[in-house]
């Protein structure tokens, strides 16, 4: 168990809908990262938050947004869902915002999103 | 930006054999190289990582080697066991943040009893 908690494990919804994915980082970790994993694109970095503030953006669509709350949990909001958004969404956490020596990145077990 | 290529995409071995997965990277400034194991229905689990100030690192049956000149690194698993069956991902980044971590496309390892 990595200590990163994601809910729900599975989510089935229809096109055009909006969903929220939740992540609790490991105790003591201030950085949260969101990744999308699909068969054709592999693991793609979406966005990073550090101590409540957005720090980096990757290949995140404008229909997607995220936030990190004062208790450090994070939510990824996906709206106007399309069939192509079906994927595994992972949250990961680390202590700091930079990959300093001895820092490591730990992943949660993911949310499987199916858009029908 | 960084590009990571991983081979092979699938690897089948008999229990007790060794398995080797290779990755190449493009950014000569990359200096952090982790390996993740992903079992079915689970998230990627960090199994070993290496930084560019060392050429090899071992942890029990798992070892990683790094050749900075050739820009490639490899994962070696000895005495494979059926529970080693999973998808393995390599990754590379500069030491400037995990948001820059670029993953390989994965290797599906199947260890047959």
β strands within chain B, DSSP E: 4-7, 10-14, 19-25, 32-38, 45-51, 56-59, 62-67, 72-77, 86-92, 102-103, 107-112
> Average pLDDT for residues B15-23, to the nearest whole number?
98
Which residue in this structure is represented by tokens 């290949």? A59
Convert B76-93 to b/e letters by CB count within 10 Å (16 or more is b).
bbeebeeebbbbbbbbbb
Most A CBs within 10 A among B44, B86, B90, hence the mutation to make, goes to B44
Asked if residue B35 lies in contact with residue B75, where contact means CB atoms within 8 angstroms, the answer is yes
pLDDT of A98 above 70: no
> Average pLDDT for residues A44-50, to the nearest whole number?
94
Asked if residue A55 lies in contact with residue A48, where contact means CB atoms within 8 angstroms, the answer is yes
Convert B56-67 to b/e letters by CB count within 10 Å (16 or more is b).
eeeeeebbbbbe
Percent of chain A with pLDDT over 90: 82
Our CA-based measurement puts residue A110 at a distance from the nearest CA of chain B, in whole angstroms, of 6
Question: How many CB atoms are closer than 10 A to CB A62?
Answer: 7
Model confidence band, residue A60 (pLDDT cutoffs 50, 70, 90): very high
> Average pLDDT for residues B11-19, to the nearest whole number?
97
**pLDDT at residue B67, as a whole number:** 94
The distance from CA B29 to its chain's CA centroid, rounded to whole angstroms, is 18
CB-based contact B32 A99, cutoff 8 Å = yes
| Residue with more model confidence, A21 or A103 | A21
Model confidence band, residue B111 (pLDDT cutoffs 50, 70, 90): very high
Model confidence band, residue B43 (pLDDT cutoffs 50, 70, 90): very high
Model confidence band, residue A42 (pLDDT cutoffs 50, 70, 90): confident
Our CA-based measurement puts residue B38 at a distance from the nearest CA of chain A, in whole angstroms, of 10
**pLDDT at residue A99, as a whole number:** 63
Q: How far is the CA of A109 from the CAs of A20, A23, A78, A86, B100, in angstroms?
A: 16, 10, 19, 16, 21
Asked if residue A107 lies in contact with residue A45, where contact means CB atoms within 8 angstroms, the answer is no
Interface check for A116 against chain B (CB to CB < 8 A): the answer is no
CB-based contact A99 B97, cutoff 8 Å = yes
Our CA-based measurement puts residue A99 at a distance from the nearest CA of chain B, in whole angstroms, of 4
The whole-angstrom separation of Cα A23 and Cα A100 is 23
Asked if residue B80 lies in contact with residue B111, where contact means CB atoms within 8 angstroms, the answer is yes
pLDDT of B103 above 90: yes
> Average pLDDT for residues B36-44, to the nearest whole number?
92
């Amino acid at each position: 168990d990595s200590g990163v908690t994601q809910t729900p494990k599975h989510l089935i919804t229809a096109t055009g809908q909006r969903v929220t994915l939740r992540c609790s980082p490991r105790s003591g970790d201030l950085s949260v990262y969101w990744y999308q994993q699909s068969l054709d694109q592999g693991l793609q970095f979406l966005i990073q938050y550090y101590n409540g503030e957005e720090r980096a953006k990757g290949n995140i669509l404008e229909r997607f947004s995220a936030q990190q709350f004062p208790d450090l949990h994070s939510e990824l909001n996906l709206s106007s869902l399309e069939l192509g958004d079906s994927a595994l969404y992972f949250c990961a956490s680390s202590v700091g915002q930079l990959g300093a020596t001895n820092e490591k990145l730990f992943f949660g077990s993911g949310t499987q999103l199916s858009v029908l | 930006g960084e590009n990571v290529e991983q081979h092979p995409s699938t690897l089948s071995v008999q229990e007790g054999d060794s398995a080797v997965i290779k990755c190449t990277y493009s950014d000569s400034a990359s200096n952090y190289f982790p390996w993740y194991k992903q079992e079915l229905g689970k998230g990627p689990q960090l199994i070993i990582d290496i930084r560019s100030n060392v050429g090899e690192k071992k942890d029990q049956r798992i070892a990683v080697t790094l050749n900075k000149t050739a820009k490639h690194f490899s994962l070696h698993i000895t005495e494979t066991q059926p529970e080693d069956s999973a998808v393995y991902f390599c990754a590379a980044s500069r030491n400037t943040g995990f948001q820059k971590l670029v993953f390989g496309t994965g290797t599906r390892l199947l260890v047959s009893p």
